[in-house]
Amino acid sequence: MTKQTEPDYASRPGRHIVSLSGGKDSTALAIFLRDKIPQLEYVFCDTHEELPETYDYLNRLEAFLGCKITRLNPERGFEHWLRVYNGVLPSPQVRWCTRKLKIEPFEAHVGNDQVWSYIGIRADEQRNGYISTKPNIIPVYPFKEYGLVLSDIERILEESGLGLPAYYEWRQRSGCYFCFFQRSGEWVGLRERHPDLFEKAKRYESENGGEGFYWRQRESLARLEQPERIAQIKREHRMRLEEERRRRPGRPLIELIGAALDAEDDERGCDICHL
């Protein structure tokens, strides 16, 4: 895109907000827009159950931007809403976590103001993310408008000095450590890197899950953590990764790892939590 055709975001009346998830795309978008929109606001809907790496990454981003990231839900995190829902855990079929911890806090923060909501979906993705039903919240897709793809996002992050979030070594999605959209390999990664959080997720599953409820849907965490099952998961992931290397030689490792995890199943993550 030439300088003459760049969108003049800053001239649009109303508030300008980037909703951050602690993931690579929304972080890169915040960096990309920083000098384009002087009055830009940065918002993070905190579930109180994010990975330590996510909180660290957001703190580093805040230092880079030189301005405050507004944390929503300072008092009403996941545990509050779990009590409200009488201990019933969220699931792909009943995603109260997305509604109560992401959508409603953001819409309350916006109120009735006209808001330009900047969304970090890339030009190489075939999705639009969550679009609010409130007419005063207008979605904007700068990466699509500028034609920016995964390699551009990696470049923006590297040039900023932030790089990728540390959890990308084993997980491809931001969001709660117990997210029910995690693949088996990501659960194994959680167990190896944050055994305390894995045990906490297990307790939720056994104490609040009810008959037949599993975060992973197809198997309990107690079953998933058995040595023979972990070995199988790792072996199958290595095979998928090697297949992706053969199919797409020369592609960045993060892209290959993501494709290998995607190949485990076709479960799509949350369009709000995982940018």
For residue range 45-79, what is the model confidence (pLDDT) as tens digits? 999 999 999 999 999 999 999 999 999 988 899 99
Q: Give kind and range of the element (H or E) at residue 243.
A: helix 227-247
Which of 206, 205, 203, 201 has the alpha carbon at shortest distance from 190?
201
Q: Find the radius of gyration of the CA atoms of the chain.
A: 19
Task: Specify the pTM.
Answer: 0.89
Q: What is the DSSP letter of 9?
A: G
Which of 16, 75, 47, 260 has the alpha carbon at shortest distance from 174?
47
**What tens digit of pLDDT does each residue of 65-120 get?**
999 999 998 889 999 999 999 999 999 888 999 999 999 999 999 999 999 999 99
